[in-house]
Amino acid sequence: MELKERISIEDIDGKKIKIRLVEPEDNSSAILTHYLHNYNNGIKKYYEEDAREYINEFIKYKELENKVKFDVEEAIQQLLFQVENVPFPTPKNYTFKFIDLFAGIGGFRLALQNSGGKCVFTSEWDKYAQITYRANFGEVPFGDITKESAKKYIPDEFDVLCGGFPCQPFSNAGLRKGFEDTRGTLFFDVADIINRKKENGTPIKVIFLENVKGLKTHDKGNTLKTIIATLKELGYNVAEKVLNSKNFGVPQNRERIFIVGWLKDSEKSFNFPLGMDNDSNPIFKSEDLHKTKLTSVKSILIENPGDKYTISDRLHAGHLRRRKEHKEKGNGFGFSLFNGESVYTNTISARYYKDGSEILIEQKDANPRKLTPREAANLQGYDKQFVIPVSDVQAYKQFGNSVSVPVIQTIFSEIKKQLL
Ligand SMILES: C[S@@+](CC[C@H](N)C(=O)[O-])C[C@H]1O[C@@H](n2cnc3c(N)ncnc32)[C@H](O)[C@@H]1O
């Protein structure tokens, strides 16, 4: 019989139904959306049993409530439509598969989908980042990746693992500099996933990681050394490079370290692009960096930001006072002003929501203003269609934590050419 009432993932999210499988860490909507997103490929088997159970329980509930019969296949068709009716659906003819760890709002996913990739697993535990992720990609990320309740759903069939994992010291670092030294950190979980796939006979072809530039000097260089040693121990060649977003067509001075690992037995090597030119071609030599794509802060500013982003007289006075005090002490700290003509801004960080002091935009006849969330999105190279469904505070945190999409996309097109 026909579905009288529209069935939706929200009903399952909203726990209208009691599900036997619900664990302390509730991944039910992640399981369901991953199932639906992989409905037409072999990956669906990893999610099928649990997802079907949710759908059946849900239908039973609906039948009791409405006293009519519901058809499971029709319910699935409706749900399928919902998860693909989003701004950034799976590319039609994808050529490789990847997993998106520490996914944030999906900066890696956007870039890899643009390169023809299909995401088959994602994890991000922050509930606000999950909201943004789902609104744009139609998939709810799994929660805490250190937990078996998330890890056990990672499929075997994928080519690339990507993630910007939080940087932590390795307490035993320096002993052996390898896999076991990383236990208790989030990098250990990355290494553990790589190791499981290796032991399974389905080794991951490429590892693509991002981190703050400070990783290089973190714990006197031990942290990065241990990460590289661990990837080598797991059978990978490794290349790393600090790159600046301003060389990739976004007007932001943002330095980040990128680490690429590829299987040792592949006899390949990897050459990082250092930037991209006006035609979006990669640049490989530092002496060619003057040919980078020309842009200015004007390119990310919107027309009518609204008054609410103008900082108050009190905050402005505070900024001016601190700047004066710092100047007198001889250090340069203070707030930073930019305008449309500026070539690039400072780095936008997750703390931008506090007072915006790192990037303020000059205004005629008014106090300076903060960037709007949309401008923060533009500054990180996010597409105009990217939906921002959360509060300004959450949005600043999310874009501040994110990768610059064009940087990931340029590096990834080289990974595809050179390594996949
Ligand atoms: C630096 S951000 C990565 C942002 C991402 N690359 C993007 O483009 O939006 C690191 C993310 O890891 C998430 N995270 C930290 N620990 C986690 C865990 N145990 N399980 C899942 N996600 C975690 C944080 O919530 C944060 O969003």
Residue whose token pair is 């006006």: 278
Residue ranges of domains in the chain: 9-84, 96-292+402-418, 297-388
Task: Give the Cβ contact number of residue 18 at 10 Å.
Answer: 8
pLDDT of 241-273, one tens digit each? 999 999 999 999 999 999 999 999 878 999 999
- Residues of the chain with confidence (pLDDT) below 70: 1-25, 169-178, 330-334
409 in contact with ligand 1, CB cutoff 6 A: no
Atom 14, ligand 1: residue with shortest CA distance: 102
Residue among 267, 264, 180, 273 nearest 230 (CA): 180
CATH fold for the domain made of 96-292+402-418 = Rossmann fold (3.40.50)
Name the helix (H) or strand (E) containing 223: helix 222-233
Kindly give the pairing relationship between strand 236-244 and strand 275-276.
unpaired
Sign of CA dihedral 92, 98, 102, 108: negative
- Architecture, CATH, for domain 297-388: Alpha-Beta Complex (3.90)
Atom of ligand 1 nearest to the CA of 105: 9
pLDDT of residue 319: 86
List the catalytic residue out of 7, 12, 161, 167.
167
Atom 26, ligand 1: residue with shortest CA distance: 104
Which residues, other chains included, contact 103 with Cβ-Cβ below 8 Å and sequence gap of 6+? 109, 122, 123, 124, 129, 133, 141, 163
Atom of ligand 1 nearest to the CA of 163: 6
Residue whose token pair is 């390169």: 115
Which residues, other chains included, contact 387 with Cβ-Cβ below 8 Å and sequence gap of 6+? 87, 132, 135, 136
Atom of ligand 1 nearest to the CA of 123: 21
181 in contact with ligand 1, CB cutoff 6 A: no
Atom of ligand 1 nearest to the CA of 104: 9
162 as an active site residue: the answer is no
pLDDT of residue 2: 44
User: What is the C-alpha separation between 295 and 387, in angstroms, rounded?
Assistant: 24
**404: DSSP letter:** P
Atom 25, ligand 1: residue with shortest CA distance: 126
182 in contact with ligand 1, CB cutoff 6 A: no
Q: How far is the CA of 260 from the centre of ligand 1 (A)?
A: 18
Instruction: For ligand 1, pick from 125, 189, 394, 398 the residue to mutate: most ligand atoms within 8 Å of CB.
Output: 125
Q: How far is the CA of 104 from the centre of ligand 1 (A)?
A: 5
Indicate the residue type of 146. T
Q: How far is the CA of 84 from the centre of ligand 1 (A)?
A: 24
Atom of ligand 1 nearest to the CA of 166: 10
pLDDT of residue 114: 96
Atom 11, ligand 1: residue with shortest CA distance: 102
Q: How far is the CA of 159 from the centre of ligand 1 (A)?
A: 21
